[in-house]
Amino acid sequence: MKPTSRPAAASRLVYSTEGGRMCPQCRRPMADCRCAAQRAAAPAAAGPIRVSRESKGRGGKTVTLVRGLPLATAELEALGKQLRSRCGSGGTVKDGVVEVQGDHVDRVLAWLLAQGHAAKRAGG
């Protein structure tokens, strides 16, 4: 396999699979398609994403916590940054949990859902 992918090669590929079934999502022949496997694997690996509000043990300060995001640390950091700027608050990412200072459960939940995450509210 060559590292470059030219449009000509791509169209030849499409032509060569004429009559075969193509995945509309990744545009590979169904034999090479991993979309279904990814869809099946994601929820099992991820579990539900839970957004909760907590104030215990924080000196009375309320924080919004997002647990169960199926993301690597760098992606969590990026998401945490977006959430913090969205909420106009500070916060951290710690042990896979995104923390935003203040009570922003509704806003965080709405944003996660808009991003395509299957998030739900947890706790009070």
Site residues, Zn ion (CB under 5 A): 23, 25-26, 33, 35
Q: Which residues make Cβ contacts (< 8 Å) with residue 46, sequence separation at least 6? A: 68, 69, 70, 118
Q: Which is nearer to Zn ion, 26 or 72 (CB)?
A: 26
> Is there a contact between 115 and 45 (Cβ–Cβ < 8 Å)?
no
Name the minimum Å distance from CB 27 to Zn ion: 7
Nearest 5°: phi and psi at 21? -90, 135
Alpha-carbon dihedral 106, 109, 112, 116, rounded to 10 degrees: -120
Q: Which is nearer to Zn ion, 31 or 44 (CB)?
A: 31
Q: Which is nearer to Zn ion, 39 or 61 (CB)?
A: 39
Q: Which is nearer to Zn ion, 39 or 94 (CB)?
A: 39
Distance between CA atoms of 112 and 49, rounded to whole angstroms? 9
Name the minimum Å distance from CB 30 to Zn ion: 8
Name the minimum Å distance from CB 13 to Zn ion: 14
| Helix (H) and strand (E) counts in the chain | 4, 5
Name the minimum Å distance from CB 53 to Zn ion: 38
